[in-house]
Amino acid sequence: MRTTTTHFPILPIGAGTTVRALASLLALVTHWLKSLARAQRHRREAKALAGLDRRMLADIGINQSDVRDAFSEPFWEDPTALLRERAIERRLYRLAARELKHL
């Protein structure tokens, strides 16, 4: 009687580790590229704000110096984050001033 044996390919431990390391590296590079693309998109959006006049910027709670400050950040930083932060700060300040006036 002849017995048949089935061979399953088994990766050596070293090869499995290498595959996992390469997959992690690929994930890291992909994440970095997505972050860079997002930063570029946010810079384009903030650049559109730079073209607005003083009154329009005031309507959204920022001013021209805020826009300049946002673009002085490193290119990988999101300039819209600083603009959003400044707008929120001013909104909270106005709310607090209004509350104090009513006391």
- Domain, as residue range, for 45: 14-102
Instruction: Answer whether residue 8 is part of any domain.
Output: no
Instruction: Answer whether residue 71 is part of any domain.
Output: yes
Exposure string over 67-90, b if 16+ CB within 10 A, otherwise e = beebeeeeeeebbbebbeebeeeb
Quote the CA–CA distance of 22 and 1 in Å, as a whole number.
46
Instruction: Answer whether residue 5 is part of any domain.
Output: no
Six-digit token pair at 7?
């061979």
- Interval 10-30: pLDDT, tens: 655 566 788 888 899 999 999
Six-digit token pair at 10?
């088994």
Per the structure, the count of domains in the chain is 1
- Interval 42-86: pLDDT, tens: 888 888 888 899 999 999 999 999 999 998 988 778 888 899 999
Question: 71 near 39, Cβ under 8 Å?
Answer: no
Instruction: Answer whether residue 2 is part of any domain.
Output: no
Instruction: Answer whether residue 30 is part of any domain.
Output: yes
Q: Look up the pTM and report it.
A: 0.62
Which amino acid would we find at residue 85? Answer: E
